[in-house]
Chain A
Amino acid sequence: MTPTPASSKPTPLVGLFVTCLVDLFRPSIGFAAIKLIEAGGARVEAPRAQTCCGQPAYNAGDRKDAASIARQVVAMFEPYDYVVAPSGSCAGMLRVHYPRLLADDPDCGPRAEALAAKSYELTAFLVRVLGVSAVDAAFAGSVTYHDSCSALRELGVREAPRRLLRSVQGLSLVELGDAETCCGFGGAFSVKSPDISTAILDAKIRDIADTGAHTVLAGDLGCLMQIAGRLARERESIEARHVAEVLAGMTEEPAIAASRQKR
């Protein structure tokens, strides 16, 4: 890795926002994120008291619960120089939605603004803040990258993951057709309207298959569970992984929804 040029500033301390999905389903993404942030020259901690960013409540119209969860997150991450999430969706919640959600709160409103300003999606943080331009990892074969809607449109993250992926030895990146289209996950939408969600997903799966890549990567575990879940159901041989696992060279765990037996 290429860390930022040495400066007189002390090493920044990053609070890792693990995300509830990574905590429950795929801890390896969290550890990959830690490895990447440390290699980029920052210290990192994952505060134990974190749970979720509150999106399930926020997007269901339960503003009150969403706001109290947001206050909890705002307070918990105040001591850190930066907050980094291996997810565009959760980072977008912190960065874009918390200030709006807490706008009427005279105490927490300004603190939410401060949190928003220092919150980043992982790959954007590595590239934009730590100035990382290459990683020390190898991954053989062709991959395609799925942009999550929140990373792409809420946070404007498009180049960062691609730039880092291009530095991975042996990896060739094939761009996805219709890359700006949603995978149909949308949190609770995926279970409230499973048929519509799956119809949208199937178009995405066709585009993924059309790339000929054997692995699909993304920066959001929500999208990945949706995509991998359907790939597995349809017995497709394409694997799905979080981009952090590949960038950190931590791909010894089976791919998402893949068999745990030794192949």
Chain B
Amino acid sequence: MDQPKHDFKQRAAQALGDTRLQKALQNVKRGFVEKRQAAKTKLPEFDRLREDARAIKDHTLSHLDLYLEAFERKVIESGGNVHYAPAAADARDIVLQLCQEVGAKLVTKGKSMVSEEIGLNAHLNAAKIEVVETDLGEYIVQLRGERPSHLIAPVIHLNRETIEADFRRAHQRLPYARRLDQPEHLVAEARAVLREKFLAADVGITGANLLIAETGSAVIVTNEGNGDLTATLPRTHIVVASIEKIVPTLEDAATILRLLARSATGQEITTYTTFLTGPRRDADPDGPLAYHVVLLDNGRSEMLGNEFADMLRCIRCGACLNHCPVYGAIGGHAYGTVYPGPMGAVLTPQLEGIDRARDLPNASSFCGRCEAVCPMDIPLPDMLRAWRERDFARGNPSRSERLLLKLWAYAAKRPRLYHALASFVARSLVRRGGPRGRLSHLPLAQSWTVTRDLPAPQGKTFHSLYARARKREARR
């Protein structure tokens, strides 16, 4: 967040050369793509659910103020508090203040991309509050001082050996001779370490996969149960969520949940789906004494009215990442952003400005698979193109790139000129290609020939051959 302009190209090049990362990225295909496909095949009404889910979100977003007010009323009715945060800094400050009010020294956290977006951990740490991530993947990236490299699989970029080394470094009071050579060992160790934190924490912070206006509930889905322990053990529970997470009813939440797990991990439903509604009631055996929901805007209201409104349907399932050839080639960290992959390439320019993030919407072959697998039917490629249009309108692409494009467009609008130029280019490429029929090096097309030969044209252009054939026919 505090870095200068994202150096996407450099990071991408580094990622492509990182053999360990490349090996880890192979797991995306096996782990996610195939499982999602199997889950979708088993649910014949998947496409109908997708239409329903889209309609639910579109409806909610067009009445967002009303549903947010209804949600707030319900949260207050159940004894909780709602705080509106217009920007990231506001949300950080609200959370810090809530923590300081109860004298918090230790905070446990469930997995939350919004907390990454607002840079929450660093803000709390700066105020001498210890923050412990309790999702296993998030815990590992926290130990490493990294960002999650995937929305739902934060350590998809790592292998077991790396994590073992991290654990040995971080858990030095444990005997060195202990076994950590199986994933189960790592899980057991993290569980033991985190259990102490769960019990000692003063405040638990979670995100929310959905907020339900009808009941004032926050829904979190996890496979580890860490979210429940984070939400219910400490005296204070704070939910940090962005405003577009809201849906009108429990029924609507159910529709989206059916799509979420299938699209994310290929599960029919996650191991834990938790509905959190307010603090502990008098008859409840447990639960937090205080319950707060921090609702983050951070550019969302602006998106409601611009060409990126569809993006607000996103449920952060990660399907677009899993199916993106670019993400598959470079992984999440190369994006240098909180939100990677196609959804991140649409969202980040809105959050950070197109000047800083202009490489991201350009890093797409427009293959359209992200849109095809998106459970919320978000037209991601169209929105990437919309960012390119904004970028172009601001005069951002390099002068040489614009000049080339303008010259090409000038010719493309003048067929006679265009055909003359095409014939000229064909002739010179044929000559350069010679009998090999291809060019391995071409000064003006080095970005192509650096990795690929350029097939030489067959000879004359189609239009010159076609015109000649037509003339011959006419003479006959």
User: A: which residues have CB within 8 A of B?
Assistant: 18, 20, 22-28, 30-31, 46, 48-52, 54, 56-63, 65, 68-69, 72, 100, 149-150, 153-154, 178, 180-182, 184-187, 189-201, 203, 225-226, 228-230, 232-233, 253-254, 256-261
Contacts and interface: CB of A to CB of B under 8 A. Distances in A.
A191 B463 contact: no
B432 interface: no
A38 B137 CA distance: 60
Interface string B310-325: 0000000000000001
A99 to B, nearest CB: 13
B397 interface: yes
Contacts of A63: 389, 392
Given A23-B462, A150-B368, A194-B448, A60 B397 contact: yes
A122 to B, nearest CB: 14
A156 to B, nearest CB: 11
Given A56-B408, A61-B389, A225 B455 contact: yes
Cβ-closest 4 pairs across A and B: A186-B365, A229-B452, A61-B388, A61-B392
A25 B397 contact: no
A259 B453 contact: no
B466 A194 contact: no
Contacts of B448: 190-191, 194, 229
B369 A233 contact: no
Contact of B462 (A46, A100, A178, A193): A46
Given A61-B389, A261-B435, A233 B408 contact: no
B102 interface: no
B56 interface: no
Contact of A193 (B29, B363, B411): B363
A233 B440 contact: yes
Given A153-B368, A196-B330, A23 B463 contact: yes
A40 to B, nearest CB: 19
A61 B385 contact: yes
A24 B436 contact: no
Interface string B434-476: 1111101000010110111111111111110111000000000
B230 to A, nearest CB: 37
A247 B348 CA distance: 46
A125 B143 CA distance: 57
Contacts of B364: 186, 189
Contacts of A203: 325, 328-329
A53 to B, nearest CB: 9
Contacts of A25: 426, 455-458
8 contacts: A27-B459, A62-B389, A181-B367, A182-B367, A199-B329, A233-B451, A259-B437, A260-B436
Contact of B454 (A20, A193, A229): A229
Nearest to B461: A23
Interface string B350-363: 00000000000011
Interface size grouping (class) on chain B:
35 or more
B39 interface: no
Contacts of A31: 462, 465
Given A59-B385, A229-B448, A51 B365 contact: no
Interface of B: 9, 12-13, 16, 29, 325-326, 328-330, 362-369, 371-372, 382, 385, 387-393, 397, 401, 405-406, 408-409, 411-413, 415, 418-419, 422, 425-426, 433-438, 440, 445, 447-448, 450-463, 465-467
User: B364, B412, B455: which has the most chain A beta carbons within 10 Å?
Assistant: B455
Given A18-B463, A229-B455, A62 B369 contact: no
Contacts of B445: 191
A182 B462 contact: no
A210 to B, nearest CB: 14
B438 A149 contact: no
A31 B464 CA distance: 12
B422 A149 contact: no
A193 B454 CA distance: 16
Nearest to B390: A61
Contacts of B330: 196, 199
B365 A197 contact: yes
Given A46-B463, A52-B412, A200-B325, A28 B458 contact: yes
A232 B326 contact: no
Nearest to A29: B462
Given A30-B462, A153-B368, A195-B451, A24 B422 contact: yes
B365 A65 contact: no
B455 to A, nearest CB: 4
Contacts of B436: 259-260
A218 to B, nearest CB: 13
Given A48-B463, A59-B385, A196-B330, A185 B368 contact: no
B455 A48 contact: no
Contact of B369 (A182, A195, A201): A182
Given A60-B405, A259-B435, 18 more contacts: A20-B422, A24-B461, A27-B458, A51-B415, A51-B418, A54-B412, A59-B388, A62-B389, A65-B405, A181-B369, A185-B365, A195-B451, A196-B326, A199-B16, A199-B329, A229-B438, A230-B453, A260-B456
A14 to B, nearest CB: 14
A48 B325 contact: no
B447 A154 contact: no
A195 B18 CA distance: 13
A149 B365 CA distance: 9
A191 B444 CA distance: 11
A225 B454 contact: yes
Contacts of B452: 198, 201, 226, 229-230, 232-233
